A and B are shown apart, each in its own frame.
Chain A
Amino acid sequence: MKYRSVFDIIGPVMIGPSSSHTAGAARIGRVARSLFGREPKWANISLYGSFAKTYKGHGTDVAIVGGLLDFDTDDTRIIHAIDIAKQKGMKLRFIEEDAVTDHPNTARVIMGDHNGELELVGISIGGGKIEIIELNGFELKLSGNHPAILVVHNDRFGAIASVANILAKYELNIGHMEVARKDIGKMALMTIEVDQNIDDKILIELEQLPNILKVTKIVD
């Protein structure tokens, strides 16, 4: 079941005009921002399917940038997000893609600064709800049924155990877990679905562990 909460249906409170193309888009941008951990200096945003055809009318471009600026779906600053980003010196590029994707509302965000880059693909499945299906080339297989923790880490021994230890300490039960890496010893990604809601203090504690680069949660 993709939708778990009544507030996925009655909600979110948001700036119009579209829950999928505005609120969902803002959420994709905000997850990207949260995973990047800071405001990017530049972003290339590719839009596919319905996103590509109608983004001007829906403010999808504006909303994704609003998310990159860490604005929530009901933050009225979303309306002026592109202007605000430009004032901050953020370089933006929007690309209307012709490729057919599995989901009609798909966006790929590649962003970065002098310290690094991040690439993320998100889909907006309706009513403001989103799924992240790709992160830095790692395919994510999140069921969307449970809250999930994403941990970007260095591929070193002990990294996974240290994360599991903290989750055990807080009595969080792991329902599903995947670890993906591109090359031995380089960056890797842990995707952990848990049964309980995740307190922000757990994320902070995980981030302080050795070899852990970035921690974020996907569903609250």
Chain B
Amino acid sequence: MFRNVAELLELANSQNKKISEIMIEQEVTVTGRKREEVLSFMDRNLTVMEQAVERGLKGVTSHSGLTGGDAVLLQKYIEKGNFLSGETILDAVSKAVATNEVNAAMGTICATPTAGSAGVVPGTLFAVKNKLNPTREQMISFLFTSGAFGFVVANNASISGAAGGCQAEVGSAAGMAAAAIVEMAGGTPAQCAEAMAITLKNMLGLVCDPVAGLVEVPCVKRNAMGAANAMVAADMALAGITSRIPCDEVIDAMYRIGQSMPTALKETAQGGLAATPTGRALESKIFGIPLKEK
């Protein structure tokens, strides 16, 4: 089993294989499942992601009413053609938002790596799909590559907002997505790791401060920006830009930052945006309880 990104790259380079392939082979070895089983299980997850994006693009609203409909707004805006940043990036953002709006509405999603960060990987995948026209097999590989980097983060740092803040959730998801975009676009395993490092570096310190404890505000928009971050970092890595701090050390930094982050900013709804006057007012309105001094 690879324990860190350096070992993952060593395996890929020495065997001249893609990162997705290393992940598939490890899964077969560790679980004892057949290769076809492993692939078809991931295919099923891909289908769930596809359906969540489709549902979100039709427009959903959460039970609290805090989130919903933004994916639709952005798609309409893209159609008008007067956007400033770029079509693929906005498409990724819109599809990431779509997924998380479905999640907030207690819809069915696939955690990647968590539910609160479930939008980033599928958002970028289905946007890049329109640009690169991948086969179904390549789309499944995208998820294995994401999974390989998420696997390293989960085992060496954290993918839990309660344990490490949002940097551990959307930060990890964005890094995973960036690496997978690079592989799908034909980049090397090393470039995948650079993309992951560049992305995660720019998510360090991100706190988990959900208003009313709901996975809605600011989670949905953090997924949006996670997707945008992943797209840009992937392009930077494909351009040959490298991270001065190696990927494994960035992951380690993320872990240590998470450890030193105060509890109020780790999914307790006690600090940050959750503790703003508007955040508190929304909380009391949603749960029908009077505002209390905190």
* Minimum CB distance partner of A76 in chain B: B108
Kindly identify which residue among A20, A53, A55, A79 contacts B114, using a CB–CB cutoff of 8 Å: A20
Contact A17 B214 (CB under 8 A): yes
Residues A50 and B116 in contact in the complex (CB < 8 Å), given A23-B111, A57-B213 = no
Residues 1-39 of A at the B interface (beta carbon under 8 Å): 1-23
Which A residues, 22 to 77, have Cβ-Cβ distances below 8 Å to chain B? 22-23, 49-50, 53-59, 74, 76
Chain A contact residues, majority secondary structure: mixed
CB <8 Å contact, B151 and A127? no
Once the chains bind, are B106 and A9 in contact (CB under 8 Å)? Answer: no
Determine whether the beta carbon of B146 is less than 8 Å from that of A126: no
Residues of chain A lying within 8 A (CB to CB) of residue B183: none
Q: Are A18 and B116 CB-contacts (below 8 A) given A50-B266, A54-B269?
A: yes
Of chain A, the residue at the smallest CB distance from B2 is A1
Contacting B at CB under 8 A, from A100-118, are: 103-105
B128 adjacent to chain A (CB < 8 Å): no
CB distance from B263 to the nearest CB of A (A): 7
Q: Are B163 and A125 in contact (CB under 8 A)?
A: yes
A3 near B151: Cβ-Cβ < 8 Å: yes
Q: A17-B103, A20-B161, A57-B213 are in contact. Are A1 and B110 (CB under 8 A)?
A: no
Residues A115-171 near B (CB distance < 8 A): 124-128
Which of B105, B118, B121 has the most chain A CB atoms closer than 10 A to its own CB? B118
Please tell me if B215 contacts chain A, counting CB pairs below 8 Å.
Answer: yes
CB distance from B124 to the nearest CB of A (A): 14
Contact of B154 among A14, A49, A79, A126 (CB under 8 A): A126
Closest chain-A Cβ to B148's Cβ sits at a distance in Å of: 7
A173 within 8 A of B: no
Decide: A126 near B168, CB < 8 A? Known: A9-B113, A105-B162: yes
> Are the CB atoms of B155 and A3 closer together than 8 Å?
yes
B207 within 8 A of A: no
Contact present for B144 and A6 (CB under 8 Å): yes
B123 on the interface (CB 8 Å rule)? no
A16 to chain B, nearest CB (A): 3
User: Is residue A196 contacting chain B, with contact meaning CB distance below 8 A?
Assistant: yes
Do the beta carbons of A4 and B30 come within 8 Å of each other? yes
Supply 8 further A-B pairs (C-beta < 8 A) apart from A49-B268, A53-B267: A6-B144, A12-B110, A14-B111, A50-B267, A54-B213, A57-B215, A126-B158, A127-B113
| Residues of chain B whose beta carbon lies under 8 Å from any beta carbon of chain A | 1, 3, 23, 26-27, 30-32, 38, 41-42, 44-45, 48, 102-116, 118, 121, 143-144, 146-148, 150-151, 154-155, 158-163, 168, 176, 210, 212-216, 263, 266-270, 287
